[in-house]
Structure 1
C-alpha cells in the first residue's frame, strides 16, 4: 500500500481514533484485498515506529501532574496510544510532529484516544477472511523498539 493510500484511509477517521471511527475504518479496509490489509498494517506499524523517539516519549503527559506536583511521565502504553492518536490525526499532524516536538505534546493527554487504531488491521483481516490474524510487520510499533530513536537507552 502506498503512503498516499494509507493516509487517505486514515483521513476517514476525521482526526480521532474513537471506537466508532476505527470500527468504520476496519469495515472499509475489510472490503479491500488481503494484500491491501497487510499493506495498511505495515504502513501503520512503520508510522508508529517512526514516532517512537526519545523527543516524543520523554514529553510529560499533558494536563496532568505527578503526586509531587511535577510532570507526569508517559507510560509505555500511554506513549504508544499517543503515537496512535498522532497518526489518527492525519498526515499533516504526523509530519508536523517531526519538525516540532511540541506538536506531539497535546496527544499525550489522557483525553486523546488512540488505542483503538491498533486493532484496525486485525479486525479488518478477520472481517475479510473470517480468520484470526497472527501477524507480524517489518516494523515493531511497541514503545522503545526504535533503537535509532532512543540513542540514550543503550542496548
Structure 2
C-alpha cells in the first residue's frame, strides 16, 4: 500500500477537523490528482480507521444534543454511528487515537452538528476524477456498523 499511516493522516489534516462537503470535495480533488494506487491506499486506511472505531463502547453512546420525547437519551442509529466515526477520523489522528483510551472523548462527536457523511465519498469521487470511471472496488475492512465482531462481543453467537 502506497499510502502510509502518516500520509493518510496528513491528508485527513487538510480537512481542518471538519468533514464538510466543501472540505471533502477539496480532499477528493487532491487525491484525484494522485496515482490510483494512492486513492486505493487512502480508501484502505480510511476503512480501517472506521472499522477500528466500530466498537460497542462507542456505539451505545447517545446523541449528545438530542433527547427522546420523555427526556431520555436518544440512541445513535447505525448510520449516525458511522457518520460519528467519520467525524472522529476527520478530527485527526490525535483525537482518533485518544478515544480508544477515553470514551468521553468520543462522545462530543455524536452531536448532530457533526455531519461527516461526506468523508465516506472521498475515495469514490477521487477515483472518478482520476479515471473518469465509477469506483467498483471494496476495501479489506468493512466500515459498516457492527462489522467489527471483536468490537461487539455481545452480538457474537
TM-score, normalising length: structure 2: 0.97
- Is 2:140 the partner of 1:143? no
Aligned positions of 1:17-32 closer than 5 A: 17-32=19-34
2:78 alignment counterpart:
76
Aligned match for 2:96, one of 94, 97, 102: 94
- Cα distance in 1 for residues equivalent to 2:136 and 2:69: 40
- Is 2:55 the partner of 1:47? no
2:66 alignment counterpart:
64
| Secondary structure at 2:154 match in 1 | coil
- Cα distance in 1 for residues equivalent to 2:110 and 2:137: 27
1:13 alignment counterpart:
15
TM-score, normalising length: structure 1: 0.99
- Report the CA distance between 1:14 and its aligned residue: 0.2
1:127 alignment counterpart:
129
- Report the CA distance between 1:153 and its aligned residue: 1.1
- Cα distance in 2 for residues equivalent to 1:76 and 1:34: 30
- Cα distance in 2 for residues equivalent to 1:105 and 1:153: 22
- Report the CA distance between 1:5 and its aligned residue: 0.2
**CA RMSD of the aligned region, Å?**
0.6
Any idea what the Cα deviations from partners look like across 1:18-43, whole Å, max 9, x if unmatched?
00000000000011100000000000
Gaps of 5+ in 2: none
Gaps of 5+ in 1: none
